[in-house]
Chain A
Amino acid sequence: MNKESPFSIEYDINNTTDAQSSIPKDKEASDLIKEQIESDYQLSKPRRKLIRARIIL
């Protein structure tokens, strides 16, 4: 199983089999990805991010 985050660009690139889609057509690969995304999704709810930065003019 791929260890990259399923939400990363690298993951999409490495798992794309169809130039028109980011979803692999192979069922086994798709199941594996689905499992991984499901487990991530179980943990992944909408989340807040706070960013603070000093403005340099």
Chain B
Amino acid sequence: MIKIKTRKEARISQGDIYKDVEFIEYAIERKGVIEISKIVFPFVVVLTQDCDLNQDYTVRWARTDTPNHDKKLFSVIVAPLYNSEHFYNGEHLSALGMSMAEIKKEKTPGKNLKQNQTPRYHYLEFPDSVPIVPSVIDFKYYFTVNVEYLKKHKRDNFVCQIGTLYREDVSQRFSSFLSRIGLPER
């Protein structure tokens, strides 16, 4: 079980968990009609480095002029949390028409997932005070969200923040997964 913080800070922080975050798949305009397709994720965790978020906040909201906008971010990296039971069954993206691999909960793959021994996945179990069921992050699925949208969204949709060390663990495993090298199969 991880440790969490429930204190809501003004800025976006690494390890923050927000509910109902939208990902814009596309927005097209044709003959005066605009079509927007978006996916709403029940819960996401912020993965962007905390120092970058802190610097962005300082530059973006500082009342005094800064020499440049070198530290300002376009967006924040987030990854969805999936209900672990949906995840084991491979049904967590079924509402999007995607069928995922089943992971046998009681067999080695399921046990490895729960112990965070599988590089692609991160299992999180929350204390009773947090209204989130045991969840899994799939590091293959992440997206970015506009900074200002997320800051406004945080006001009413902040759930908690993953505690120090635990969030570094998520971040380190995420970056390791992204930096993996795929070798050709023989």
Contact = CB atoms under 8 A, between A and B. Distances in A.
Given A53-B34, A54-B32, A55-B33, A46 B159 contact: no
A37 B159 CA distance: 12
B83 A41 contact: yes
A23 B96 CA distance: 30
Contact of A50 (B22, B37, B94): B37
What range describes how many residues of A lie at the interface? 20 to 34
A48 interface: yes
B132 interface: yes
A48 B42 contact: no
Contacts, number: 102
Contacts of B131: 6, 23, 30, 33-34, 37-38
Interface residues of B, number: 40
A27 B128 contact: yes
A38 B126 CA distance: 13
A46 B162 CA distance: 21
Given A7-B19, A22-B158, A44-B42, 19 more contacts: A20-B7, A21-B6, A21-B7, A21-B158, A23-B130, A33-B131, A34-B131, A42-B83, A45-B42, A45-B92, A46-B42, A46-B82, A47-B96, A48-B38, A51-B36, A51-B37, A52-B35, A54-B33, A55-B33
